[in-house]
Every structure is written in C-alpha cells, then in structure tokens.
Structure 1
C-alpha cells in the first residue's frame, strides 16, 4: 500500500493484487506469479477467489467466456447478496461486463460502430481543443497546479460528457459518485446506495434523450436501437461508459505524467519525438496497469489453470499488474521503456470483454501527454505532494502538485 494514501483505513487490508509501492506491485504478487502461479486470495469483497497471475494464463481465462462466466461472477458479488432477482436485474441491465454471449454480443454490437478508430478520429480536433483549453487555464493561473484537478481529470471528463450527451455542469456530482462507487474501503451498503443514485441520474438523461434525441451517443442509441434496448439497459450502458470513460483515462494521465517526470530520459523521448508517442502510451499502459483486476468470473465446469484444478462454481480473478510484468511475456518487465510499445499487454483486458473505449483512451493520451510536456518543458513535481489512491478499483492519483 502506498505510504502517501490520503486517508487512514487501519481496519482495511488490501488484497495482494491491489497493493502497490507507488508504481510497483508489491513483491508478494510477483512471488505468487513466479511460484504457485494460481492461488487462493481474499478479495476486497470479502470472498476467497483463485488469483490468476501469469500473462499466458490470464489470456486463456479472458479468452474463454464459456468456461469463465462474467454473468455468474457478478451475480455472486457481495454487493448484490440481499437484492431481489428483479433488483439485481435492474442493476445489471446494460452493463456489458455483467454478461456473457449471446446477451453480451447483442449489447456490444450496438455500441461497437461508435468506438471504431475511424469514428474516434472524427473527435481528434475537439479533443485537441479541450486539451489546449485546459493547458491555457493552467498557464494563466500559474504554478503550482494540482495536475489531477486541473488537467488529468477534467480533460477526459469533458470528452466523455460531450460524446455521451451528459451535461458537463453535472461533472462534480458524477465524479463524486464515481469516486465513492469505486472506493473499496467503503461499506457495501454505502457503495450500493451511490450506485443506485448514479442509476437514477442516468435515468433522467435517458428520459431526456427519449423525448429529444440529440447527435450524441445516447441520442444515437435511442434513435437507432430504441426498440431493442429497454429503459434500464439504456441507463446501464450510459452509466458504464460514463464511469469508464473518465475514470480510467484520467488516472492514466496523472499517474503516467508522474512516471515520466521520475524517468526524465523517457519523458524527453515522449516530448520531443512525435513518432515515439504511440509506443510510449502502450508501454505506460503496461507498466502502470491501473486496473488491478479483470471482472470476477465463475467457472461453469471443472477446469484447470496453470496445472491447478479449479472446481465448477469457484470464482476466478485475473491480476493484471502481475500479468503485464510477467518476465515470460516481456524482457526486463520492471523497467519502463517507452520505446518498446508492448502491444501484447492486458491493460485493456482481452477477448470479448476487451475495453470498448480503448481507441478513445489511446487517442486522448496520445494528444494529452506530448501537449502537456511541450507546453511546460520545465514541468516538475512538487516534492512530497503526490498522493496515491490505493483503495480504488482503478489505481491512480488523488492529488499531484506540479510546478514549472
């Protein structure tokens, strides 16, 4: 656990796959990967699961939705234990991560055309405007600046708000809810309450879109798939995209910038060589692995992973930081090397649940990192002011003061 976490949670013990020493997964996680390979661990949900840690094994699990079920995995989460079947169905509706084929296939097919690389390129001029506008504000205000609050969080938030049709004026409220929803140290009842609040908010946006569908993604879904998607499914899709669309990219921008500042030779490459930016983004994704684990999965049959027998009905979890630093899959995995661009990483997952928004996230990072570093060539962290968020589903920075 990072020593700079901003809150004390003495009663909480982080699962081994969530523990970090700043950028580094704890040695116990590497020992699990390099030793038993697959082992029982206690999760943040308070249940014991099989942790899969090697790159090859994680790819196998993520590739096989028949043996490793997302639908059954989510249904067994402690957060949903005391809900009725109807309440569970409403909470899961539209959440692609909560389903296996064919239901997953049906939902994803409607969204995939909007997240192709070609479609994302249409957004590039607007993303550049958003990045430049926030850099202008930072420059006008002057140092020091909290890079999280002033740049890393608002840029992807504004992008996803415009893409979905979410009022940007509501960002403080939905960012607060997202932060609480992903904070594993909070009681389950509190996180579930926030989840229901989020659903209610998205329901108001769906109602508005159904009455007057705009040119945004939510409006498109209403116009083109309004007869195929229920009200709850529309709200669930919008909720998932809103949370995933700003939370992951914002933490990559904050944590990635700090990583580059602490590796000035790597920073210079990203700042000075436009051709180096794309592979640098891939290496940062691999090296940081901000999503601790894939979604929980339940085995549908007796199976085996890495020579370990896993009974039918057990829960399996993939430890992505361990897999992305597996020496069997990449040379010298502990070293940050932005020139290698490890495309085979698992930061966006793998298989049918590979992150739908990966093209958008990559574009935002390819634009934002060099723009920031070129605008402020003397950018530096304020010593002792970096605060890491250890207890969240998505690892990152709570605060990061910089000067120039």
Structure 2
C-alpha cells in the first residue's frame, strides 16, 4: 500500500454492515478529529470525524455550500450533474439561504409535525393493514418504508400521492443515479412535474404548503421557479432519507433482539429509541459538505481557502469523548448529541417531521407485528450500490 493511500484513504466507501461504517473510517478517526481523504476524482479534502470539531466547523461563516463553484467537493460523479449542483436551500449561502430558510422554518416546526401525526399514524396503519391482508412475506422497503415519507410529504405539500411512483423514482434518480446524465434526466423530469403542480396552485391556491407558498408568488414575494426549486429540494430531502432510515433501523433491531424486546415491551420509550437509531444508523456517512472561503485554523490544522470540507456524521456520532462505547447499539442511551441532522445554518429543516415519522413507524411496526423477523438469512440482504446514500435494496420479512 502506498504512503498516499495511507495518508488519504478513499472516501466515501460502501458499508459491509447496513448500520455500521466501514472499518477504515474507524482507523481514520483514531488518527485524530481532522484528516485528509481522497474523493472519487482524486481530490483531497479534509474529513472531520470529531464531534466538537464538526460542530465548530459547521458553525464557521468562512464555509460555503454554493455548488456552482469548482471548489465545492462533489462526493460522487452523478452529484456533479447540473441538476444536483443547482439545488436551492441546501446549496445556498446567506443572505439568499436565510430568506428561503425563514420562509420555510414555520412550516416545519414541531407544532406542524404534531398536527400531522394523526394523519401519519392513519397512513402507517393502512400500510400494516395491507401487509396483513396480503400475508407474509413482505418487503419492508417497498411495502412500508418507501410509502411512509411519500404519504407524509404529499399531505404536507399538497402533492397527489397517486403520483408517488413517479416522484419517488425521480427523487431516487437524482440522489442515487450512476451517471450525471441519469441525474440530469431525473432532475428535469421532477422539475417539469412540480412546475405543473405549482402553476395549478397559482391558479387556484390550496391550503397545503404549496398553496400557501403559491400565494407568495402571486403577491410578488417569491418567484415561480424559486418555488418549483424549493418544492424539489423538500421532496428529495423528505423522501430519500426517511425511506432509507426505517429499514436500516429494523435490521439493527433484528441484530440486537434484546434491544428489539425492550422497544416492543415499552421498557424503552420510542422517542428515546429513535435517537439511538438516528445516531447509529445514519443513512449517509457525511453530514456536511462545504468549501472554505478564507483560511481557518482549527484543532491544530491549517485549512486553506479553496479547500474542501467533509463532515462525517457517522464518525462524529461515534466520538468516544461524547458517547461511552460508541459502537454499541443501546436504545436506552437516547442522546441527541448526534449530527445525523447536521448542524449550523444548514441543519435539517425537516427533523421534527422526520422524528415523528420514525417514532410512528417503529412503534406501529413492533406493536402490530410482534413476531416480525427476517424472512431470509441476514447475509442475503443487499445494500444499494451507491456510496453516498446508504440503504437496502429490499428487506424480506415475515411474522
């Protein structure tokens, strides 16, 4: 092995365990909280694995999320596509980011998430009903995890769930494509679909989020294309993460039957359990990608303007200075000291809604299907081939 490979290993890498990071990440973190890694295109960037250092850097105003600059680190070939680079909100810096964030913050607070909870519960119960009626086995990805965020985002935004097959395929195409061409095709298709929905809302605004924001367009506060782009980002972020997270958490529970029993029997409240599931099974191994606009000194490292920054949420969540036995899966831990939702100005807008969906999804699953178990050997489970968004192709279960 060359010295260069040792100094800056490739990143990201695929997991061999659905919910634990590759072993080499642990080797990197043991060298210190900030190290260099090599991306797919040969570029070296700074990887942050320490919890405190990650929070500090994500709060630094000398970082940029603007993907239109060459300095922005692209984490995979398809993420360099135009449709991935021009995403608003997640790819914006202040003051534009602040304007869009202030517009959306009230719509994604805890109050709105709680108001949607009965609807989420009813939708999830209907999915379980359908599984029971059909009988085992079932695919917990296709039959359960994927529809849940689609139903929630449809209710929130005012998007017809009847179109869910299309918009779920399109969002998956943007985030998990193999080539930039596939990403661009999926992004353009999704933009066209949402453009039509937004135009309809501008003609006759409804009461859901798209309708409320369409009124802002009519009043001149927001541009039509801006709203289409915002809807696109919300849909992509709202679907891919939650639908990937649910099956990963279930596999972690299957692998730890004593933890599953504690959740099923109510010895660990579901809201507590969800925090450990979020910490241990993060669906991406990087919780922040930025580039540096001015030199930064941090933790003994000199990071130069133009350098790329990648925060590994997976490893920051396993910082031994924050969590005792950080690789141990313990539902009763219940700590919110994790970076699964990021940190700083780009911290996940929809985290209250995500937590609500996860709480209802796990609680309903273990309550209504108490005998739930794998229908295949665990070594038959297949991870998706994308190294950027972790997830299972399918999860065959029986009960």
Report the alpha carbon displacement of residue 151 of structure 1 after superposing the two structures with TM.
0.4
Show CA shifts across 1:196-216 (max 9, x none). 222222211111111111111
Change (3 A) 1:399 1:82: closer
Aligned equivalent of 2:349: 356
The 2-side partners of 1:148 and 1:273 are apart by 25
Q: Secondary structure at the match of 2:309?
A: strand
Aligned equivalent of 1:156: 149
The 1-side partners of 2:51 and 2:323 are apart by 10
Show CA shifts across 1:304-360 (max 9, x none). 232121111111111111111111211100001000111111000011111110000
Aligned length: 383
Report the alpha carbon displacement of residue 79 of structure 1 after superposing the two structures with TM.
6.3
Change (3 A) 1:45 1:195: farther
Structure 2 residue runs of 5 or longer lacking an equivalent are 1-8
The 2-side partners of 1:301 and 1:399 are apart by 44
Normalization by structure 2: what TM-score? 0.90
Report the alpha carbon displacement of residue 45 of structure 1 after superposing the two structures with TM.
5.9
Report the alpha carbon displacement of residue 295 of structure 1 after superposing the two structures with TM.
3.9
Aligned equivalent of 1:69: 64
Structure 1 residue runs of 5 or longer lacking an equivalent are 1-13
The 2-side partners of 1:341 and 1:225 are apart by 42
Out of 62, 75, 86, the residue aligned to residue 92 of structure 1 is: 86
Corresponding position: 1:201 with 2:196: no
- The answer to whether the Cα contact below 8 Å between 2:14 and 2:387 also exists between their aligned partners in 1 is no
The 1-side partners of 2:364 and 2:78 are apart by 41
Aligned equivalent of 2:276: 283
- The answer to whether the Cα contact below 8 Å between 1:74 and 1:296 also exists between their aligned partners in 2 is no
Change (3 A) 1:233 1:140: same
The 1-side partners of 2:318 and 2:128 are apart by 33
Show CA shifts across 1:272-328 (max 9, x none). 217611110000000011122134211111112321211111111111111111112
Corresponding position: 1:111 with 2:115: no
Report the alpha carbon displacement of residue 254 of structure 1 after superposing the two structures with TM.
1.0
Q: Secondary structure at the match of 1:57?
A: helix
CA RMSD across the alignment: 2.2
The 2-side partners of 1:254 and 1:198 are apart by 25
Show CA shifts across 1:164-209 (max 9, x none). 111212211222222222126x122322232222222221111111
Corresponding position: 1:391 with 2:386: yes
